């Protein structure tokens, strides 16, 4: 009888503890703020974001992220403008373009993720110097896209722009396939596509376009002015999570990063992913802190104006709100 009573007491105690724990978990969940995040595309180039997701940095800051890949900056921009998304990850150039068109409710940039171009020049032979491009054709991506504009800028800086034929009529996701089938003499590719072609097609990664150009305001997070005004604590928490991830990738190896973000790239082997991350680490593509730098912003404007994609400069403080990034705690 004594054992039965003792057992019942333990059972009741466990039941009470279970209810308390469940209550606490529910309470914590109820405090989580849901944020709809729309990324321009799924890319290894955005590794710090997936680190923040995979290691729970957003949850640490009270945010539950609902991630959606739009597959196009125009789609991400539309999602932000229509309030279908709360925050967007896209090229700074897209925000500049919207602002220059005089559209109302232009999104505001508040946290930068990448500071260099993420594409690599891939060729059919190993030895390379920039003058080798003279008289050759290069699959460079969509006309007016930032990778293509950066490549144009590099060619102009090298003094060979007028001697290179740029192929702009091939879709982004088909550029590697087209090149492997004989189209063009060279191609500009992001990782992991560059790595896959190197491994499977015996092609060669020759140059990093990011390392061949100065730092620019490449990719960042934005939201509508209204969302920022209504949810300053969300923007602060989001920026803190990104800052922590940016610091994390700077202090960990490519293999360690790959272990965290591999679930976001199910069609990619760990070896290819690790090599891709190693290439990006060596090029210093990711920001050390989330604040936008005015000189890098102005260089992007210069590159866009040279390419005919921006008629006049946009003031830095008209599209950038740095207060959250400057006070970020990672």
98-138 pLDDT tens trace: 999 988 789 999 999 999 999 999 999 999 999 999 999 99
Q: Do 227 and 312 fall into the same domain?
A: yes
Give the pLDDT confidence score for residue 105 in this predicted structure: 86
Number of folded domains in the chain?
A: 2
| Domain boundary residue, one of 180, 208, 236 | 208
* Long-range contacts of the stretch 147-151 (C-beta < 8 A, 24+): 147/117, 147/118, 147/119, 147/188, 147/190, 147/209, 148/188, 148/307, 149/93, 149/303, 149/304, 149/306, 149/307, 149/309, 150/117, 150/119, 150/209, 150/213, 150/216, 150/303, 151/117, 151/119, 151/188, 151/209
Q: Residue 128 maps to which CATH number? A: 3.40.190.10
User: Is residue 11 assigned to a domain?
Assistant: no
Alpha carbon distance 135, 142 (integer Å): 20
Alpha carbon distance 156, 166 (integer Å): 13
Alpha carbon distance 92, 217 (integer Å): 6
Q: Do 231 and 180 fall into the same domain?
A: no
- Pull the structure tokens for residue 199: 């491994």
Q: Do 157 and 287 fall into the same domain?
A: no
Q: Do 182 and 292 fall into the same domain?
A: no
Selected residue with higher pLDDT from 257 and 6? 257
Q: Do 142 and 198 fall into the same domain?
A: yes
Q: Do 232 and 313 fall into the same domain?
A: yes
User: Is residue 154 assigned to a domain?
Assistant: yes
Of 164, 169, 117, the residue nearest 142 (C-alpha)? 169
| Domain boundary residue, one of 208, 227, 250 | 208
Give the pLDDT confidence score for residue 150 in this predicted structure: 97
Beta bridge partners of 89: 39, 221
217-236 pLDDT tens trace: 999 999 999 999 999 999 99
182-204 pLDDT tens trace: 999 999 999 999 999 999 999 99
Of 52, 39, 43, 35, the residue nearest 260 (C-alpha)? 52
Q: Do 104 and 127 fall into the same domain?
A: no
Q: Do 220 and 318 fall into the same domain?
A: yes
Q: Which domain holds residue 197?
A: 119-208
């Amino acid at each position: 009888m004594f054992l039965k009573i003792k057992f019942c007491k333990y059972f009741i105690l466990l039941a009470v503890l279970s209810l308390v724990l469940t209550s606490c978990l529910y309470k914590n969940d109820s405090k989580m703020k849901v944020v709809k995040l729309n990324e321009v595309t799924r890319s290894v180039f955005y590794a710090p974001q997936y680190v923040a997701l995979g290691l729970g940095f957003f949850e640490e800051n009270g945010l539950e992220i609902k991630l959606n890949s739009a597959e196009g900056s125009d789609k991400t921009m539309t999602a932000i403008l229509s309030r279908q998304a709360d925050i967007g990850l896209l090229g700074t150039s897209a925000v500049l373009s919207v602002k220059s068109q005089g559209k109302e409710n232009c999104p505001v940039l508040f946290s930068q993720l990448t500071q260099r171009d993420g594409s690599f020049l891939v060729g059919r032979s190993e030895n390379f110097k920039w003058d080798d491009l003279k008289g050759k054709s290069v699959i460079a991506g969509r006309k007016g896209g930032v990778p293509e504009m950066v490549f144009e800028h590099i060619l102009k800086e090298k003094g060979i722009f007028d001697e290179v034929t740029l192929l702009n009529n091939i879709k982004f996701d088909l550029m590697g396939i087209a090149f492997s089938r004989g189209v063009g003499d060279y191609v500009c590719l992001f990782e992991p596509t560059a790595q896959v072609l190197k491994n499977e097609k015996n092609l060669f990664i020759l140059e990093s376009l990011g390392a061949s150009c100065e730092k620019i305001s490449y990719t960042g997070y934005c939201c509508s002015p209204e969302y920022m005004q209504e949810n300053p604590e969300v923007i602060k928490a989001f920026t803190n999570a990104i800052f922590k991830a940016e610091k994390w990738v700077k202090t960990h190896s490519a293999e360690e990063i790959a272990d965290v973000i591999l679930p976001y790239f199910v069609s990619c082997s760990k070896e290819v992913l690790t090599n891709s991350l190693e290439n990006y680490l060596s090029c210093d593509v990711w920001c050390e802190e989330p604040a936008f730098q005015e000189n890098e912003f102005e260089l992007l404007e210069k590159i866009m104006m040279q390419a005919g994609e921006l008629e006049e400069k946009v003031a830095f403080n008209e599209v950038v709100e740095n207060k959250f990034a400057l006070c970020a705690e990672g």
